[in-house]
Amino acid sequence: MPNIVNNLGLAELKSAFGEAEGMLFFSMAGLTMEENEELRGSMFESGAQVRLVRNRLAKLALADRGLEVDADIFKGNVAIAWGNAEAAIGAAKIVSEAKTLRKEGKIGVRGGVLEGNVLDANDAAALANVPDRMTLQAMLLGALSGPARSLATVLDANQSSLARVLQARADQGE
C-alpha cells in the first residue's frame, strides 16, 4: 500500500513541478497553527502553492525535471512554494519579511529554482530584493522616456529663453 501512495504523491509532484517556473525551498519547523495558516495564506495570495513535501519524493520529482539540488536542502522539514516566477519571488519576500519566525529558527530559505536555474540559499534569499513586475515596467518606462524628455527640455529652452528676454525688454521699455 505505501508504494501506491508514494507513486501517487510522486506523480502529483512531477505534474506540479513540471509546470512551475519558480520554486522556493524553505525549512518549516515548530510553527504554531496560526503562524502556519498565516504563512500559507500569504503565499497563496502571492500566487504560490505551498506544500510540505517528503524529501525523497521531492528529490525524485526534481530529478525527473532534470534539476539536481544539493542534498543539504532536503534535510529536516522542507516546504516548497512553487508557481510562476513572480510567485517564487513573492514567496521569498514573505519568508524574508517574517523576521520573528526567522530569528526563532522556525523558517529559513534553503534554496530555489528560477526558470530552470538552481539557486543556493543566498541567491534564493536575494529574490526578496527583486522588484515586482509593475515596478520593473515603471523603471523601464522611465529609462526609455528619460532621453526624450531631456531632448524636449533642451529644444524648448531656446524659445522660452527668447520669450523671457523679450518680456524683460518690454518691461524695461514701459
Q: Which residues of 131-142 are buried (b: 16+ CB within 10 A; e: fewer)?
A: eeeeeeeeeeee
Q: Does 114 lie in the same domain as 72?
A: yes
Give the type of residue at 54: R
For residue 172, what are the domain limits? 133-174
Q: Does 13 lie in the same domain as 90?
A: yes
Q: Does 151 lie in the same domain as 110?
A: no
58 CB-contact burial (10 Å; exposed 0-12 / middle 13-18 / buried 19+): buried
pLDDT per position as a tens digit, 3-23: 888 888 888 888 888 878 888
Longest dimension (CA), the chain: 103
Q: Does 159 lie in the same domain as 125?
A: no
Q: Does 151 lie in the same domain as 114?
A: no
pLDDT per position as a tens digit, 59-97: 888 888 888 888 788 888 888 888 888 888 888 888 888
Confidence at residue 1, expressed as pLDDT on a 0 to 100 scale: 46
How many domains would you assign to the chain? 2
Domain at 116, CATH number: 3.30.70.1730
Q: Does 154 lie in the same domain as 98?
A: no
Q: Are 84 and 103 in contact (CB under 8 A)?
A: no
Q: Does 102 lie in the same domain as 51?
A: yes
Q: Does 139 lie in the same domain as 125?
A: no
Residue 19 phi/psi, 5° resolution? -95, -10
Query: Averaged over 117-125, what is the pLDDT?
Result: 82
The Cα–Cα gap between 103 and 28 comes to 13
Q: Does 73 lie in the same domain as 159?
A: no
Q: Does 157 lie in the same domain as 89?
A: no
Q: Does 174 lie in the same domain as 123?
A: no
List of residues 6+ apart from 97 with CB closer than 8 A: 128
- Reading the block at residue 152, the C-alpha cell is 524636449
Angle at which helix 2-19 crosses helix 55-65, to 10 degrees, equals 50
Query: Averaged over 97-110, what is the pLDDT?
Result: 78
Residue 158: how many CB atoms within 10 A of its CB? 9
Q: Does 94 lie in the same domain as 160?
A: no
